Amino acid sequence: MPVGTVGSVKGVYHRDLKEDIGAEIILGNTYHLYLRPGLDTLYKAGGLHRFESWDRPILTDSGGFQVFSLTGIRKLTREGCTFQSHIDGSRHTFTPENNVHTQRVIGADIMMALDECCPGDADHNYARKSLDLTKNWLERYAKSFRESDPLYDYQQTFFPIIQGCTYKDLRLEATEHALQFSELGIAIGGLAVGEETEVMYEMIETVCPQIPQDRARYLMGVGTPANILEAISRGIDMFDCVMPTRNGRNGMLFTWNGIMNMRNAKWEQDFSELDPSGTSFVDHTYTKAYLHHLFKSGEMFGAMLASEHNLAFYLDVVRQAREHIQAGDFLQWKDAVVKRITQRM
């Protein structure tokens, strides 16, 4: 299984799309499909034949997180969630049922269940109710999935999402429930949403041992390169995150030697190559001073180069993680590099 990214599918219709999916469909654009050694054959056996021939499978999110970030213009009910477009105020509704349909239409290889992303600082009572809603939606989603067929000539699978906020009892309950609907993989959601990083790691440690080894574990929305390595050490296989592109656009570069804020004055006269240990062509084609200049000047090209670099770096991180797992020295390697990559340059 090659490590790869799904390119941006935001606003881009699948080449075989059979229905107009409408403009309200919002999809993330940086899925980092790191997969631990040993899972490769699983995917081939799972009937997702495109995984064999195409190293860039499509993964679509349900929109559950968008709804989470829409506080103020959303309404959650048992039926689903209604929200207003920030563009024209029009109302839209996500239900587990129409969400399955949408992701069928897009033709994602991996579809994500519709869930409620519970805030990291929610109390147990709220988290309890939130989890009940997510469980109800998951059951309906699974039913709708079973009763519908792919619209294209390949199989699709969906990942249920484990919620439960920062409460171990809820996380365990959610894991047991979600596993009933897990075919090839399962996701952990509702983390990195306000809680302490250590708490996030605790939740991963709580959940992962409950998941069978042959199931891919996808940690949604995480995170920094260090977060990713720590999560891998706790059993996670897949990630996605806006961080490489968003932070890149805002001038932050992640490298093996630490984090650079390209807007900082210290780079103004630094004509060394962008990242000597980088794997992207931009790392050896442009200088730190040039990128600094682009950001200070507000040139879009700076954001483009930074995104390119960060995506390449993220992929390098997970590729090397795989190699060290295979070599048997992952933990030792991880502890050494985490120190380096988290320092400020």
Residues that bind RNA in the complex, under the rule CB under 7 A: 26-30, 61-62, 64-66, 68-70, 72-73, 86, 112-113, 115, 117, 161, 163, 187, 189-190, 192-193, 197, 220-224, 227, 240-243, 245-247, 249-252, 261, 263-266, 268, 296, 298, 300, 303, 344
Kindly state the helix (H) or strand (E) to which residue 65 belongs, with its residue range.
Answer: helix 64-68
The smaller minimum CB distance to RNA, of residues 53 and 269, is found at 269
The tokens for 171 are: 């996380």
Q: Which amino acid makes up residue 291?
A: L
Which single residue is written with the structure tokens 């920030």? 86
* DSSP summary character for residue 19: S
240 is catalytic: yes
The C-alpha atoms of residue 141 and residue 43 are separated, in whole angstroms, by 22
Cβ 221 to RNA, closest distance in Å? 2
Q: What distance in Å separates the CA atoms of residue 141 and residue 151, rounded to the nearest whole number? A: 17
Q: How far is the CB of 118 from RNA (least distance, A)?
A: 7
- Of 109, 115, 237, 240, catalytic: 240
Partnered with residue 84 across adjacent β-strands are 91
Of the pair 80, 251, the CB lying nearest RNA is at 251
Q: Cβ closer to RNA: 249 or 322?
A: 249
DSSP assignment of 193-216, as one string? SSS-HHHHHHHHHHHGGGS-TTSE
Q: Quick one: 31 or 51, whose CB is closer to RNA?
A: 31
The question of whether 335 is a catalytic residue gets the answer no
The overall longest dimension of the chain from CA atoms, in Å, is 62
Least gap, CB of 165 to RNA (angstroms): 10
Nearest CA among 104, 105, 129 for reference residue 118: 129
Q: How far is CA 327 from CA 132, 320, 330, 333, in A?
A: 42, 10, 7, 10
> How would you classify the pairing of strands 31-32 and 5-6?
antiparallel
| Distance from C-alpha of 64 to C-alpha of 16, rounded to nearest angstrom | 25
Complex with RNA: residue 84 or 213, whichever CB lies closer: 84
Shortest CB 344 distance to RNA, Å:
6
Q: How far is the CB of 44 from RNA (least distance, A)?
A: 26
Q: Which are the catalytic amino acids?
A: 61, 240
